[in-house]
Structure formats: structure tokens, C-alpha cells
Amino acid sequence: MKKIIFIGSGNVATSLAVSLDENNYKILQIFSRSLSNAKLLADKVKAEAIDDLSKIKTADIIIISIKDDFIKGILKSYHFDNIVHTSGSMDINIFDERVKNFGVLYPIQTFNKEINIDLSETPFLIECNNTSFEKSIRELAQSISSNVFKIKYNDRKKIHLAAVFACNFSNRMIGISKEIMENNNLDFSLIKPLINQTMKKISEGEPNKLLTGPAKRKDVKIIENHIKLIENTDHKKIYELISKDIMNLE
């Protein structure tokens, strides 16, 4: 399974295509609705850029790595065999029963096409409709990662939910912190050592047992004062909800 086509040219597609290219897989084509976006990735992996799915060539596998909302539309319009999607939240049964080989190749990682990511320890969750194709997908995943697991959809979607809390929501909380500092003409770098130490502690211990701060101490007066300082209504609600959740842990 050496010849690969990507449908998609975003963050996940870019990281996977580059990693597979570096591990001696041949990326034949990169499809994107934007030909310029397809070309950006295609140039990195010496592939052909296309914006017309009718021009797709024969490949050993097609990796579809686009927004979940767009997957069904593409699969309704075109018939592909030997295909996987990279979504954490989409069922394997999104593929048509006429497709001979289909599956899921979901990396539990946060991606940015501008940042090179070492995928060697990134967990890859796979699921396929038959054992033969599963073997091929496992081999492909193991060529770039030492952590490959067979996981059914019901568990995969819960893992994806947990990943959203761990990554996206924590990023947004840090983003709000940055906004508070900058809106008050304060240097965000003052907070960075705290953020770095927080991430380090989490990697070494139980997150809930590492909690500190006014909510952990149930210091209601400080919490009330903080809420008064917050100007954004949605941010007030977030602060209140998370503080309440922390206080209810014990």
C-alpha cells in the first residue's frame, strides 16, 4: 500500500502526507476545492494538485481528511474503494456498502500545517470493515507511529470528546488569559511560566489532584471579585461554571 491520494489539504492532511512521504510512501495527488491550497501541500510531497475529483487516479488508498460536514457530500457524488477518513467523530458506516474496503485512521493529536509534528508517539486509532484492509491500514499507521490501536466508533467518539476538552478548550482558556492581559496593557509573557509549569505538572500527575486557586480553596470572595473584573458576559459564565465544577469535585 504505497501509492496514496489525499482528499483534503488542511492541517491533518498536511502532517500525514509529509510524514508518509518521509517514510517512502508515494503521494500521487492532493485534492482541494482550492487548487492553490492543494498545490501548497502537493509541492511539499512532490504530488499532483487537483481541484476536480473526477481526475483522481488509481491508488492503493485514498485518505479523506476534510471537515466532517463535507465528507457525506463527496462520498455521495463519487465512488471510491480503499478509503479511510481521519475523523474522530464520524462513524465508519458513513461509507457506502458498495465500497469494498473502508475504514478510519484517526490520529489523537493537534495539528497545524505550519508546524512540523513528530508523529512517532502519536496514538492512531484504526477501524476497518474487514481484516485484510485492517492489516494494511495498521501497517501504514505503524510506519509513522509506534502507538496504533484498534478502536470501535463508540469509544473513538468519546476519546474525541475528551480530546476536545483537553486540547481545544484548554487552548481557549489560555487565549482568554492572553486577551485579559493585553486588554489591560499587561505583558502576556508574565503568564507563560505558569502555563509551562501547569502543562509539565499535568504530564506527571493526576490533573484533578493538581488543582490550585480560589475555586479549589472555595474562596468565594476572590471568585466574586474576579467575576466583577470580567467584562465579557460569556467569559463571566465560563468562569462561574468552571469554578462551580471545581468546587463540586470534593
Name the pTM for this structure.
0.89
Nearest-angstrom CA–CA distance, 83 and 166: 29
DSSP-derived letter for residue 89 is S
Looking at residue 250, its pLDDT comes to 67
Closest listed residue to residue 104, CA positions, set 164, 32, 159: 159
State which CATH number among 1.10.1040.20, 1.10.1240.10, 1.20.1250.20, 1.10.287.3610 fits the domain covering 156-247: 1.10.1040.20
Give me the residue spans of the domains in the chain: 3-151, 156-247
Q: Which CATH class is domain 3-151?
A: alpha beta
Each of the 250 residues of the chain gets a pLDDT tens digit; together they read 689 999 999 999 999 999 999 999 999 999 999 999 999 999 999 999 999 999 999 999 999 999 998 998 888 888 888 999 999 999 999 997 778 899 999 999 999 888 888 899 999 999 999 999 999 999 999 999 999 999 999 999 999 999 999 999 999 999 999 999 999 999 999 999 999 999 999 888 889 999 999 999 999 999 999 999 999 999 999 999 999 999 999 6
pLDDT (tens digit per residue) in 6-26: 999 999 999 999 999 999 999
Nearest-angstrom CA–CA distance, 40 and 94: 29
* Four-point Cα dihedral 8, 80, 122, 17, nearest 10: -50
Q: Residue 231 is placed in which grid cell?
A: 467584562
Q: How far is CA 173 from CA 7, 179, 249, in A?
A: 32, 10, 20
